[in-house]
Amino acid sequence: MADESVASLAQLYLGNILYALELAALSLEEHQRPDDAAFYRAIARKLATAHGRSTRDDGPPSTAGS
């Protein structure tokens, strides 16, 4: 991989990262640490939302008004 920036690697492995964050949250819940679990889920939500925005921005040009 020529461009191994943090952003490109995070985008490539986003699904794995989100899965790992959810596993961490589940483990924290099992250890009666709901606030910490919520923190990791919030990080996952932010990453997923940012990815959704970048996917929309990179999509094909709109044909509205053509």
Residue with tokens 């044909």: 63
DSSP 61: P
Per residue in 32-53, pLDDT (tens digit) is 999 999 999 999 999 999 998 8
Q: What is the pTM of this model?
A: 0.75
Distance CA 7, CA 50 (A): 11
Q: Can you tell me the mean pLDDT for 4-30?
A: 95
pLDDT of 60 > 80? The answer is no
> What residue ranges do the domains of the chain occupy?
14-54
Burial of 55 (0-12, 13-18, 19+ CB in 10 A): exposed
Q: Please give the pLDDT value at position 66.
A: 43
pLDDT of 2 > 80? The answer is no
Q: Among candidates 11, 21, 22, which has minimal Cα distance to 52?
A: 11
